[in-house]
Structure 1
C-alpha cells in the first residue's frame, strides 16, 4: 500500500520551518502559528500510522482465513494439488512468523498470496483453478477496501 513515511515528513516539515519560515517571521506570531500547524500535522501522521497498522492487521487476519478456506475448497472438491498445498503451508508458516515493521509484514502477506496464486496457475487450469482462486479474492477486496479507507473513501460493499 502506498504509505506516507512519517519520519521523512517530520524531517522535511522541521527543515522547511527552520530554514524558510522562521527567518521570515520575526515575532511571536511565528510560534503561535507553528504550534497549531505542528499539532495538526502530528495528529494527521498519528492517524496515518495507526491506520496503516490496522489495515495490515486486517489484511493478515483475512489472508490467514482465506488460506484456510482455500484448503477446505481443495478438500471439498477433491482436487489433488500438492504444489498448491505446499504453497499454502509455506504461506501459513511465513504469515505466522511475520514479525517486523508494518511494511515488512505487508510484504510478507503479498508474497505469500502471490506464491499461492502462482502455484494455482502452475498446477491447475480451467474451472478447478477458478474455484480454488476464489477465496483469495476476498483478501484482495479487503486490501483494496483498506487502501480506500486510508484515503478517506468507502470501498464497495
Structure 2
C-alpha cells in the first residue's frame, strides 16, 4: 500500500504540474502527508524518529515564522520535485532493460574486458551518454531553488550553460 501511495503521489504531482488546479495541489499534499505517515509507521526506530522530528521541527519553524499552514503547504510542495525525481528516476531503467540496451552494453564491455584502456573508454562513453539524460530532472530542482532569488539573466545563462 505504501508503494501505491508514493507512486500515486508522484503521478498526481506530475499531473498537477502540467494542469495546475488548486484542489489537485491540496490532494497531492494530502496524499503526501498520508504517505509520510504510513512510511513512518513502517520505518525502523531511528529513521522513524528522525523523520518525524524533522517534520515536527519544520512545522514549528513555519508557525514561528508566521507562515502557518500556508507555509507548511508550500514547503511540502517545494520538496515534491525532489521526491518524485528520487522515486521515478529508477523507472528510467525499465525501457533500457526492455529494449535490450543493457545486454548490448554488457556484451561490448565483456569483449573489452581484457583491454583495460578500451574498457575504461567504453565505460566512460556509456556514462557520458547516459549521464545527461539522468540529470535532466535536476534542472527542475535547481529552477525551484533559484526562482525566488531574482538573479540576473546573464548569470543564470552562464550557470545553466556550465
* TM-score above 0.5, yes or no: no
Higher relative contact order (Cα pairs below 8 Å, separated by 6+ residues): 1
TM-score (norm 1): 0.41
- The TM-score, its normalising length taken from structure 2, stands at 0.40
